[in-house]
Amino acid sequence: MNESSTRVEAFSDGVFAIAITLLILEIRVPHGGPGGLWRELLSLWPSYIAFLMSFFVILIEWVNHHELLRMVRGVNYPFMFANGLLLLLVTFIPFPTAVLAANLATPDAKAAVAFYCATFAVNALPWNLLFHTIVRGGLLRAEVSPTVVRNIRRTYYVAMFVYLLATALAFVQPALALAFNASLWIVFIRLGYRSESSVSARS
């Protein structure tokens, strides 16, 4: 009844690859004003920060998506829509990134960082939904232990909580909120490692 995940992976890889590559389009090209091109390039620092942060988040989300699908022995119809919701949030990322880049050096920095962090709190929902769909649909490989399932679930909840905290923090200390936000990269990178150690390689 389940089919292989090949085409879902191809479509998802496409969306991740495009979203991550579109980020650069948000950096406006300076034309070398009175202060010279170097000064103009330096003044774009909010764009560089926004670009780097979102690049790493999308990269890590792609790696996690890749790790998750290695734990799966096939996909079903609900999977495709749960995965679609996840991709919705991924394609949305360039927008809060651009909002962050445009407002980080302005009095609206707090609102921009809060909006940016809130996006990832919402982003955690489809990850939960996708994992729930996988477990409920019996799509997990037999080798995946209940401990791994529990770990992944807990990490998703912790992530959502940390993103909500970062959103609240943004109204007080936007720079700290961004650092908080980035700290989750390590959690997610380690999550991947853990699931790898308990899943045998496929082909």
In the shown chain, the binding pattern of residues 89 to 118 toward its own copies, with x for contact by CB under 8 A and - for none, equals --xx-xx--xx--xx--xxx--xx--x---
Indicate whether 87 belongs to the interface with its own copies (CB under 8 A). yes
Encoded amino acid at 147, one letter: T
Residues in a beta bridge with 3: 75
Q: Total residues at the site for its own copies (CB under 8 A)?
A: 69
Alpha-helical regions (H) of the chain: 6-22, 37-42, 45-70, 77-92, 94-103, 109-136, 146-170, 174-197
Q: How many CB atoms lie within 10 A of CB 126?
A: 19
Residues in a beta bridge with 31: none
Q: How many CB atoms lie within 10 A of CB 106?
A: 10
Distance CA 201, CA 125 (A): 28
Shortest CA distance to 50 belongs to which of 94, 1, 19? 94
Indicate whether 22 belongs to the interface with its own copies (CB under 8 A). yes
Q: In this complex, which beta carbon is closest to its own copies, that of residue 87 or of residue 135?
A: 87
In the shown chain, the binding pattern of residues 138 to 157 toward its own copies, with x for contact by CB under 8 A and - for none, equals --------------------
* Minimum gap (Å) between residue 150 Cβ and its own copies: 21
- When binding is defined by CB under 8 A, the residue of 7, 141, 150, 154 that contacts its own copies is 7
Kindly list the residues in this chain that would bind its own copies in the complex (CB under 8 A): 1-4, 7-11, 13-27, 29-32, 36-38, 41, 51-52, 55-56, 59, 62-63, 66, 70, 74, 77, 80-81, 84, 87-88, 91-92, 94-95, 98-99, 102-103, 106-108, 111-112, 115, 189, 192-193, 196, 201-203
